[in-house]
Amino acid sequence: MELQKVAFLFSFLILITVSSATSVVDFCVADFDYPVGPAGYPCKNPANLTVDDFVFSGLGVPGNTSNIFKLAATFAVDTTFPALNGLGLSMLRLDIGVGGVVPIHSHRVSELILVIDGPIIAGFISGDNIAYYKKLNKGDIMIFPQNLLHFQVNVGDKPALAFVSLNSASPGFQTTSPSLFGNDLPTNVIEKITLLDAVQVKKLKELFGGTN
Ligand SMILES: *[C@@H]1O[C@H](CO)[C@@H](O)[C@H](O)[C@H]1NC(C)=O
Ligand SMILES: *[C@@H]1O[C@H](CO)[C@@H](O)[C@H](O)[C@H]1NC(C)=O
């Protein structure tokens, strides 16, 4: 009797698990005629799709690294590659010029990097403020756990190339320095919340287009 109850409960739990993990469609290519919601975009009519909707050719060419970070990040995410909508993954190409960096940033999901041309120093900082970092060479991969601050630095004498994949079609990037200094939060408030001095805050506001 008890055993039957347990068996019933167990199959009930399996049913719940399976039904919540099952989608009623095979795919949902984003239709940008409608706004995005928490679960992504509405689907294009499958009758209008071709194989080309499932192919993205944008990662084959180097991006423009003429900027303060000497970085070009080319995105294959739901907004650039609509077939990723709802499928929980995305990919980026990173070109990092000589002396360039991927500045410290975070996102909602985890990231796996594959180094094609290095070396780079890559690392993340845990919630306990421990820095895990290492020099990575061609073929190395490293995981950056979700939400944690992380970065990459080209330490070679030629441009570096890497590809990253993230387990969301919309990873939600937040880059620390532009976020802190590229807005109108008053300098004296930023001084208080960062312990930086006014000269440094003003310098970074200038750099990232912030005011006040
Ligand atoms: C999509 O397919 C439907 C049904 O075949 C058709 O009526 C409609 O015009 C198509 N829409 C576009 C944008 O091609
Ligand atoms: C790269 O970006 C810089 C700065 O925006 C621009 O001046 C330059 O023309 C771009 N180079 C190419 C090849 O597009």
Measured distance CA(105)–CA(145) in Å, rounded: 12
Distance 30 CA to ligand 1 centre (A): 15
Q: Is 50 in the pocket of ligand 1 (CB under 6 A)?
A: no
**137 and 199 belong to one structural domain:** no
Domain holding 192, by residue range, is: 175-212
Residue 122 lies in a domain: yes
Do 132 and 61 share a domain, yes or no?
Answer: yes
Distance from the alpha carbon of residue 66 to the mean position of ligand 2, in angstroms: 6
154 and 57 in a common domain: yes
Considering the domain architecture, whether residues 168 and 195 belong to the same structural domain is answered as no
Among all bound ligands, the one having the nearest atom to the CA of 31 is 1
Domain count, the chain: 2
pTM: 0.83
Say if ligand 1 is within 6 A of residue 48 CB.
Answer: yes
Q: Is 64 in the pocket of ligand 2 (CB under 6 A)?
A: yes
Task: Check if the beta carbon of residue 187 is closer than 8 Å to that of residue 197.
Answer: no
Nearest to 58 by CA among 24, 39, 82, 38: 82
**Angstrom distance (rounded) from CA 162 to CA 26:** 30
Q: Is residue 8, in this structure, part of any structural domain at all?
A: no
- Tell me what pLDDT residue 25 has: 86
CA distances 155 to 84, 100, 101, 123, 189, Å, are 33, 8, 9, 13, 35
User: Do 199 and 147 reside in the same domain of the chain?
Assistant: no
Residue 39 lies in a domain: no
190: part of which helix (H) or strand (E)? helix 187-194
Per-residue confidence in pLDDT tens, the chain, 212 aa: 455 554 544 444 444 444 445 778 889 999 999 989 888 999 999 999 999 999 999 999 999 999 999 999 999 999 999 999 999 999 999 999 999 999 999 999 999 999 999 999 999 999 999 999 999 999 999 999 999 999 999 999 999 999 999 999 999 999 999 999 999 999 999 999 999 999 999 999 999 999 99
Q: What residue owns the CA closest to ligand 1's atom 10? A: 48
- Indicate the helix (H) or strand (E) that contains 87: none
